[in-house]
Amino acid sequence: MNKQSLRHMKREATANALADAAFALALEKGLDGFVVEDVVQRAGYSRRTFANHYSCKEEAVAMAAVIFHGADEVEAWIGSLNEDMTLLDSLYQLMKLQLTREHIWKLRQLVSLSKEHKALEPYILSALRSLQITAQDTLSELSRGRYPNGYTHLLIGAVYGAVLPLLDGSLNVLLPGESSAEATEAITFDHYLDTMFDYLRKGF
């Protein structure tokens, strides 16, 4: 591993620690209940380091939802993929890996916070866009030029559009790991994901 890779990993780890600290404080005290100084004290960094990564506490809170701790698992999965697998099936497996209970819960909490604090909204849009771009880049890599231009964008747009109602509570869907006792008349996340991809495979 070269120095540039190590530097990138260290920078990413610092950004993640600051974002996690800001997100935890937002849940504990509300967005108005803490300042940047509280974030850096909790994370163990300086205000200057914070400024190197984020413009404000709202941005740090929002970016906590982008952090995905299963990147190594996804990378290993990509390396073992069958080249004959369709792009749609590849995306299905990728969503199963990435949309964990913790990840969806964080996104839901972020959306809930934004309803009380409108200053968060632009940063949430930026965070969601970052997730979408990452998925788009992965899908483009997996496509290996086998699909028409725009196909990967269509798939990513459809899938992320279908995920958004899970975050604002518009749909009664159980998160991975939740039991039916926690919500009445709810469908499981796996069932929702399967239904969504069935529509993409067969049409509406």
CB atoms within 10 A of CB 21: 24
pLDDT for 4 equals 57
End-to-end CA distance of the chain: 47
Residue 50: count of CB within 10 angstroms of its CB: 23
**Residue 23 pLDDT > 80:** yes
User: Does residue 184 register a pLDDT over 70?
Assistant: no
pLDDT, position 182: 57
Give the integer Cα–Cα distance in Å for 98 and 27: 23
In this structure, what are the phi and psi dihedrals at residue 179, rounded to the nearest 5 degrees? -100, 160
CATH for 1-63?
1.10.10
Give percent of the chain above pLDDT 90: 28
- In this predicted model, what pLDDT tens digit does every residue of 67-125 receive, in sequence order? 866 566 766 766 677 777 888 888 888 888 777 778 888 888 888 898 889 889 899 88
Residue of 23 and 71 predicted with greater confidence: 23
Helices assigned H by DSSP within the chain: 3-29, 36-43, 47-53, 57-63, 71-79, 87-98, 101-116, 121-143, 151-167, 189-202
Domain boundaries, the chain: 1-63, 65-204
Q: What is the 3-state secondary structure (H, E, C) of 45-90?
A: CCHHHHHHHCCCHHHHHHHCCCCCCCHHHHHHHHHCCCCCCCHHHH
Q: Which amino acid is at 104?
A: I
Provide the pLDDT confidence category of residue 183 given band limits of 50, 70 and 90: low
Mean pLDDT of the chain: 84
Please report the pLDDT score of residue 67 as a whole number.
80
Cβ count near 92 (within 10 Å): 19
